[in-house]
Amino acid sequence: MSTSKSMGTPLHVSSVFRPGLFDDRVAIVTGGATGIGKGITKELLFLGCTVVIASRKADRLSDGAKEIRDWLANAGQKATLHVVQCNVRKEDEVKSLISTTVDRFGKLDFLINNGGGQFLSSTADIRLKGWNAVVETNLTGTFLLCREAYNQWMKDHGGAIVNMAMDMWKGYPYMGHSGAARAGVVNLTKTLGVEWAQSNVRVNAVAPGSSIFSPTAAANYGNASIFDGAKVNIPMKRTGTVEEVSSAVCFLLSPGAAFITGETIRIDGGQSFYITPNFRLPDSKPTDMYSWQSQFDKDAPHGSKSKL
């Protein structure tokens, strides 16, 4: 479906899902004012959902909310979009985000733990403060939000949660902190999928490749072309779009995924099945090879080489 403004550039508004799919539903999207989270927020709103976006920076939230409302108005729809400032690393702020949402909208059907990130660094150079900042943002924040959404609402009413992982399946050079945290998220997703199934709460995750461009994501690395650099490692030979992440999230939230829980969907053009993301080792001599002979020669006292 597409609509156009009476004046100016036509705006294409679309979803592969049916209009009204999420009517009367209420969702929280962390990091919902930028990048992937903004894409998810737009699609949820377009499908009739009420959405609360939450992150640290008030200016980002208000700018993002204005853009999203204008975008939806151009599609002829009114957005029920609410903004809450919340740092997912702060337990009291997370508790308050969930209670505010339930108080204001009377329920909480969906939680999308999208907010997060990291900085690039060799693991040897990461200071404890930086390690803790990344693990608290991506793993502990996800835990806190899941726990509060469950205890305050979903335990008694059901719901669906989607967490955010990354392409850390083979380890992630220069992202050791985030790779470890996201691997934790994937494991937590499986555990919660099992523990909360009896409450009719489904918990799944998406794992985008190192490839989803947005101006905010690129700015974090000071290099707008950093995502283009990933193409060589992607069998589909292109970067991904925020819409490609959003449609997977909407599917996981939808009744069509009613029998799916604990799962992580990769959205990476095959990258994770190919080679290690965005990282080439420098040329170096081959490492020492092990054989019984070489080991014996190495361990033997000088002058007593074996003749096996």
Ligand X SMILES: NC(=O)C1=CN([C@@H]2O[C@H](COP(=O)(O)OP(=O)(O)OC[C@H]3O[C@@H](n4cnc5c(N)ncnc54)[C@H](OP(=O)(O)O)[C@@H]3O)[C@@H](O)[C@H]2O)C=CC1
Ligand Y SMILES: CCCCCCCCC/C=C/C(=O)SCCNC(=O)CCNC(=O)[C@H](O)C(C)(C)COP(=O)(O)OP(=O)(O)OC[C@H]1O[C@@H](n2cnc3c(N)ncnc32)[C@H](O)[C@@H]1OP(=O)(O)O
Q: What residues make contact with ligand Y under the rule CB under 6 A?
A: 117-121, 127, 129-130, 133-134, 137, 166, 174, 210, 217, 220-221, 226, 278-279
Please work out the total of residues on this chain that contact ligand X, with binding judged by CB under 6 A: 31
Of residues 258 through 277, those in contact with ligand X by CB under 6 A are none
The entry of ligand X, ligand Y, none that residue 119 binds, CB within 5 to 8 Å by partner kind:
ligand Y
Q: For ligand Y, which residue has the nearest CB? A: 117
The entry of ligand X, ligand Y, none that residue 129 binds, CB within 5 to 8 Å by partner kind:
ligand Y
Give yes or no for a contact between 239 and 212, defined as CB atoms under 8 angstroms apart.
yes
d(CA 308, CA 293): 8
The entry of ligand Y, ligand X, none that residue 251 binds, CB within 5 to 8 Å by partner kind:
none
Give the amino acid at 245: V
- When asked if residue 246 is in the footprint of ligand X (CB under 6 A), the reply is no
Binding ligand X (rule: CB under 6 A), the pick from 45, 47, 139, 166 is 166
Of residues 54 through 93, those in contact with ligand X by CB under 6 A are 55-57, 60, 86-89
Name the minimum Å distance from CB 129 to ligand X. 14
Helical H segments across the chain, by residue range: 35-46, 58-74, 91-105, 128-135, 141-149, 155-157, 176-195, 215-219, 242-253, 292-299
Give yes or no for a contact between 269 and 209, defined as CB atoms under 8 angstroms apart.
yes
Which lies closer to ligand Y via its Cβ, residue 154 or residue 230? 230
d(CA 167, CA 239): 13
The entry of ligand Y, ligand X, none that residue 246 binds, CB within 5 to 8 Å by partner kind:
none
Long-range interactions of 93-100: CB distance < 8 A, separation 24+: 94/141, 94/144, 94/145, 94/148, 95/148, 95/152, 97/28, 97/52, 97/54, 97/145, 97/148, 98/28, 98/145, 98/148, 98/149, 98/152, 98/153, 99/152, 100/52
Q: How many residues does the chain have?
A: 308
Binding ligand X (rule: CB under 6 A), the pick from 72, 75, 105, 116 is 116
Name the minimum Å distance from CB 245 to ligand X. 8
What residues make contact with ligand X under the rule CB under 6 A? 30-31, 33-37, 55-57, 60, 86-89, 114-117, 137, 141, 164, 166, 208, 210-212, 214, 216-217, 220
